[in-house]
């Protein structure tokens, strides 16, 4: 079994890195697990524990999907949290609504459902995780920091490909390995 997911690799620009650094420095005494910038990605579909013999079927489906999609741009222009301002769980950067992205994700969900991968119960919320929050002492200061970056142009991303990754969990955090790449037209 392999723990798999499909994602777009993101190379953070300076504005993205500055936000990441600002939060890390301002909340270094809090219990937050920060995502390493080298593994920044936009998850399109989490497949979870997958039989290795399914990888070939997944690969065939994802290759077919690329035939119907051109490359496109995404705009990173928001910041937010999952959870509530009283109990934040994840801090993330948001992606502006994109019909191209929504159509790609729908095609992935629909086609993978034909081989037994159920559609996610929740709506797809495109985001780039900055950190996973266990505890924050000063939630008001945290919210004020978030408000500084709300609705700001952060980064434009040219999406020319996506990838099938394996995730191996370690005590120090997950390690990601690219298994396959899928080039858009």
Active site residues: 41, 127
23 in the Ramachandran plot: left (φ > 0), alpha (ψ -120 to 50) or beta? Answer: alpha
Distance of alpha carbon 130 from alpha carbon 137, whole angstroms: 18
* Contact call for residues 155 and 12 (beta carbons, < 8 A): yes
Distance CA 19, CA 35 (A): 12
| H/E stretch holding 81 | strand 72-83
User: How far is 176 from 1, CA to CA, in rounded Å?
Assistant: 15
């Amino acid at each position: 079994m392999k723990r798999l997911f499909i994602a777009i690799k993101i190379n953070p620009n300076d504005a993205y890195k500055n936000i990441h650094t600002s939060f890390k420095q301002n909340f270094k005494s809090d219990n937050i697990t920060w995502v390493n910038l080298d593994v920044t990605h936009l998850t399109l579909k989490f497949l979870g524990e997958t039989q290795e013999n399914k990888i070939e079927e997944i690969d065939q489906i994802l290759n077919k999907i690329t035939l119907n999609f051109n490359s496109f741009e995404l705009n990173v222009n928001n910041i937010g949290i999952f959870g509530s301002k009283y109990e934040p769980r994840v801090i993330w950067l948001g992606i502006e609504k994109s019909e191209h992205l929504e159509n790609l994700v729908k095609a992935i969900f629909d086609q993978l459902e034909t081989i037994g991968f159920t559609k996610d119960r929740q709506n797809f919320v495109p985001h780039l995780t900055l950190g996973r929050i266990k505890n924050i002492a000063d939630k008001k200061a945290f919210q004020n920091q978030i408000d500084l970056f709300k609705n700001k142009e952060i980064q434009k991303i040219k999406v020319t490909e996506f990838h099938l990754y394996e995730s191996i969990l370690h005590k120090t955090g997950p390690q990601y390995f690219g298994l396959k790449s899928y080039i858009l037209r």
